[in-house]
Amino acid sequence: MIVAADIIAYMEELFPQSLAEEWDNVGLQVGSASSPCRTVMTCLTVTEAAAEYAAETSVDLIISHHPLIFAPLKRVTLDNSVGRIIYSLVTHRISLFVGHTNIDRAEGGLNDWLAESLHLLDVGVLEPELDESGYGRIGRLQSKMTLASLAKYVGEVLGIQGVRIVGPNDRLVQAVAVCSGSGSHLWPAALAQGADVLITGDVKYHTALDVSSTSLAMIDAGHFGTEAVFASRLADLLEEEGKRRQWPLRVIAYEAETDPMAAV
Ligand SMILES: [Zn+2]
C-alpha cells in the first residue's frame, strides 16, 4: 500500500513547489500525506461535481490544477461552494493536492502538453527563467497556414467551440506561441521572440486592441480550453510511474469537466 506522500514526492520531482509564484497556494490543501492511497484522481478544478464523483468512486487523493483554497478562508460551512467541497472531502477522507503555477512553469508541464497537443515543432520557453522553466512556449507549425484555419485547427484539437481571433483571417502564420490559462500579458514576449501568433485564454478587449496594431495575431481558445489537457496528461504520467514502481494504484482522470463559459 502506498500513501499520498509517495505520489506527492513524485509530483515534487516533476513540478517542484519552489517554481510556484509567491501569491499562489499549492501543495497539500486537505487531508493528510500519510493517508493510504489506492485511487488518485486528476482534475483541472475541484468543483462540487468533481468532489461528488471522487466520493462515489472511492478516490483517496485528488490532484487539481486550480487551488481550492486560495482566498483566505474565514469559515468552512455548507453555505458556500468551497465550504461544501472541503466538508465533503473531509467526510469521505479524500486528500487534495494542488499543482498550479509550478506545473505551468515546469519543463514537461502544462505548457509543454499544450504545445504537444498542437504538434508544434522546435518548442522552447516563451519567457525563459534561470532554469529550463518559465511561462509559455514557442514553436512552429510544420507549414504556414492562415490565422482562420489555425483557429479552426486549435478548436478541433482542443475540443472547444467559440475560438476567437485577433488579426486578419487570411494572415499567414507559422511561429506559434502558447500560454495556458490567462497568458495574454505575454504578448510583448511573443512578439519579441518572433511569434506570428499567440494562443492563450482570457484575452481582454484592451489587450486585443493593443495587439491588433502589431504584426502579432492572437487566438483566444479560452482559459478552460487551453488547460483542458491537464487531467488526462497528468493521469498518464501517474499511471506510467505507478506501473514502473509497481504501485497498487488506480489512476482516474476526471473527464466530466466543462467550460463554465459556454459558446452558443
Ligand atoms: Zn487556470
CATH of the domain at 32: 3.40.1390.30
Rounded distance from Cα 202 to ligand 1 centre (Å): 10
How many A from CA of 224 to the centre of ligand 1?
A: 7
Ligand 1 mean position to 207 CA, how many Å? Answer: 19
Cα–chain-centroid distance for residue 247? 25
Cell of 36: 493510504
- Backbone phi, then psi, for 107, in 5-degree steps? -65, 130
Q: Report residue 12 CA to chain centroid gap.
A: 16
Grouped pLDDT means (10 residues each) for the chain, 264 residues? 97 97 97 98 98 98 98 94 98 98 97 98 93 93 98 96 96 98 97 98 98 98 97 98 97 95 84
Residue listed under C-alpha cell 500500500: 1
Ligand 1 geometric centre to CA of 248 (Å):
31
Instruction: Please give the pLDDT value at position 129.
Output: 87
Based on the domain organization, do 209 and 159 belong to the same domain?
yes
Cα 227 to averaged position of ligand 1 atoms, centre (Å) = 6
Beta-carbon neighbour count of residue 93 at 10 Å?
A: 14
Q: Is residue 173 part of a domain?
A: yes
C-alpha cell recorded at residue 93: 477522507
- Same structural domain, 8 and 96: yes
Its domain, for residue 41, covers 2-102+228-253
Q: Indicate whether 33 and 8 sit together in one domain.
A: yes
Assess whether 165 and 235 both reside in one domain: no
The angle formed by the CA atoms of residues 114, 119 and 122, to the nearest 5 degrees, is 95
Measure 119 CA to ligand 1 centroid, in angstroms. 21
The neighbouring-strand residues paired with 251 are: 40
**127 and 83, same structural domain?**
no
Q: DSSP of 98-140, one letter per residue?
A: E--HHHHHSTTSHHHHHHHHTT-EEEEEEEE-SSS-EEEEEEE
In a domain? residue 264: no
In a shared domain, residues 201 and 135? yes
pTM: 0.95
- Domain co-membership, 132 together with 72: no
CA of 114 to the centre of ligand 1 (A): 13
Same domain, yes or no: 233 and 217: no
Task: Give the residue among 43, 39, 28 at the shortest CA–CA distance from 92.
Answer: 39
Helix, strand, coil: what percent of the chain each, to 5?
35, 25, 40
pLDDT score of 66: 98
Domain assignment present for residue 162? The answer is yes
Tell me, yes or no, whether 262 lies in a domain: no
* Within-domain flag for 259: no
For position 22, what pLDDT does the model report? 96
| Spacing, Cα 115 to ligand 1 middle (Å) | 16
Per the CB < 8 A criterion, the answer to whether 136 and 130 are in contact is no
Confidence at residue 264, expressed as pLDDT on a 0 to 100 scale: 82
Q: What is the pLDDT of residue 263?
A: 80
**Residues 69, 6 share a domain:** yes
Q: How far is the CA of 76 from the centre of ligand 1 (A)?
A: 24
Q: For residues 219 and 208, give the distance between their C-alpha atoms in angstroms, rounded to a whole number.
A: 10
Residues 6+ apart with CB under 8 A from 241: 10, 247
24 Cα to the center of ligand 1, angstroms = 12
Q: Residue 44: in which H helix or E strand, if any?
A: none
CA 253 to ligand 1 centroid distance, Å: 17
Distance 181 CA to ligand 1 centre (A): 4
Is 261 within the bounds of a domain? no
Beta carbons of 51 and 87 less than 8 angstroms apart: no
Compute the distance between CA of residue 55 and CA of residue 143 in angstroms, rounded to an integer: 47
Cβ pair 177, 126 in contact under 8 A: yes
Q: Are residues 209 and 237 in the same domain?
A: no
Do 244 and 216 share a structural domain? no
Q: Ligand 1 centre and the CA of 65: distance in Å?
A: 7
- Domain total in the chain: 2
